[in-house]
Structure 1
Amino acid sequence: MNDAKNGVIGPRRPIRVAALATALTGALLLLCCTGGAGAFLLTELGGDTDDPVTNSLEGCGRGGVIDVRGKMPRIDGYGDSQIRNAAIIIKVGADMKVPPRGWVIAVATAMQESRLSNLGHLGSRNDHDSLGLFQQRPSQGWGTPEQLQDPAYAARKFYEKLVTVKNWQQMSLTRAAQRVQRSAFPDAYAKHEPVATKIVDALADGAAQTVEIGNRRACQAAARGNIAASGWTAPIPGGVGSGFRTAERPAHNGVDIAAPKGTLIRAATTGRVIVSRCDPDSRGRESCNVDGYPGKGGCGWFVDILHANDYITRYCHMIRKPQVIVGQSVQAGQVIGEVGSSGNSSGPHLHFEVHVSADRSSRGAVDPVPFMRSRGAPLNGAP
């Protein structure tokens, strides 16, 4: 495997991604869910355009056929041949009936291992005998050198191993990829998840916004612990009431989602808890075990989670001490607390924030509504 040395989660190695987050959000929102689905035309791989898994994304995408020999979408930082390789990876996954979460994992893995380039032997710069998109090694039984430089073969071997991993769809991208690749630098995979999501959406008409529910695939439905192919889920069910930085509340750096007391709050995506405590009120008192009131000040019981690419999510006004502690790793959809009304609150609800660039201050806050919608995990009831 490539000796990538980039870490992923932690404030000591910030990755400035505010501009990237804005670009991704804008690009993904263009992929509206209006019916139909993407199919693939890749004749040299024997593509079957009548495959219901490929052609039925439950309302996601604009329909149409993608020919990887034709014009590819433009993705910043990647050339035409690299995006064609990504299309082959996705096509193979679709043919094998691997859910779209697997496509995101596979594309992100190839981004880390080869930057989506079909690498030959790199001599002294090579990691042993690693080859191809996934830097698989003939000496470890992945195949012959010729086979591993066939992108379709390499992708198929990756998926064959991935689907044998128990609960791989519930794992973080890093853990799932590492179970397949056994990389010396496993944390490096996660930083590619946002762009891999963008690539899958661009090539497969919004497939990264879908979620597997039972035996069907639904669009924009990641909630109640169901996780979208992007790796995200809504923290609680319910509609947005008070919005982000409205005219009435210009300093409101998140959104409020009303819900009954005790409603389970879930981590929006995989990450590490960096704050879990009672936020003092405007008079400096830590009085979070009672209902708050307007003007009291403070977030009450709250949690901040740091995610890959220096995203932070915040969850305020919990009813009691959170169920997670600082330093704890959490999975997407894991329960972290319960809805309450502690702190500066007029009734039970979750105040939910999203920040970029590892900036917990108001400067790092972005509107959670388009951010979550672009990841297939809309805050229910939000436009």
Structure 2
Amino acid sequence: MAVLGIGSRGDVQPCAALAEGLAGRGYGVTLVAARRYAALAGPGVTFAPLSVDPLAVAGSEEGQRWLASGPLGFVRGFRTVVEPLAATLIGEVDAACAGADLVLAPALGALGRHLHDRYGTPYRLLHFQPSEPTRAFPNPLIPVTTLGPPGNRASYALVERLGWLVLARMANRLRSRVLGLGPLRGSPFAADRRARVPVLCGFSPLVVPRPADWPAHVHVTGYWRLPSGRRAARPESREASEDRADGEDLGGLRDFLTAGPRPVFVGFGSMVPSEPERVAAEVVAALRRARVRGVVQGLPVTPDDDVRVVGEVAHDLLFAEMAAVVHHGGAGTTGTALTAGIANVVCSYFSDQPFWGRRVAALGAGPPPLPIRALSSDALAARLRSVLKYQEKAAQLGRLLRVEDGVKNAVDLIERC
């Protein structure tokens, strides 16, 4: 079988954990992901590298403009940034999955559907945020708490239809040119739902309780975590290797961590602020005002005795050493920070990030979210000074999440299905 880890580390690492769990049951498993994440493929897992590097795309000038362009610009950017690379990526995915007897694929890109149409291969959908229609809350891409039960449920169809309206032509061009398939006549997400394709939700019911109106083929398994000691992918650049987390060793960060109180982590994943220098200055000023040390990732910050700068590191290993985490609210980062049992300060950009920020606050694991557009040294410092009052609930939730076995639950369901 094949497990598709499409995207950056936060997308790939849970898929690597799932692949390793399946291999441990004796299945032949291929993890399909960007080449830089080869070291995440565990014992018994075959790795099929993709030449499209998500971090290189995000780090390019065009990619940074795309990620900083807001929700509408982000969707439009799929045609200018993603489509030129998508033909290569889909071709490589196709080659890696041609002989698979089961494909586990994220909903984004509808790759499971395309491979099924090409080969007849059964597939299961991997969800990292709640995407099944429900009356309990609106689609996570809708930046409000509720639209009322009928409006909440209707919001899922609205988001899917708008997304398909924008991306249908691109998707069908790629289906024809790369896979030799005819066009899809409607949203693949709606087709998957009508076919009752089994869905595995890689988040915890303690974080998002399973809505009562979800159908039986949608399963909330808990987070998919790699075994201890297998957290860190070996980065390819020398600069990244200087501060990487390697197994149980945090390398060059260890001396900094032991030199004073636990620091605060600040990093926004692949999100790029429209004014990175200004945001970096506000972050450093906030750390100073809150009188805390910092570990900063992805911002143009000058390191000193109280601030360290890191490249790509294993968040689950690093967060265990932090006093609090300031992040963008990505699904993977939020799950990792909550599992670490420390307070979260979510500075959301768009997409599902405001949803996760609201969940963190509702769980009592962090203050109300601070949208990145409103980030200032005063606002961030105030939240950092308040994190102590969230620590008890954050620690309690972390203890419960750490005993969940999402990988086992997911593998059990795959076997039963």
* TM-score interval, smaller chain: under 0.3
Structure possessing the higher relative contact order (Cα contacts under 8 Å, 6 or more residues apart):
1
Higher helix share: 2
What's the TM-score once normalised by structure 1's chain length? 0.27
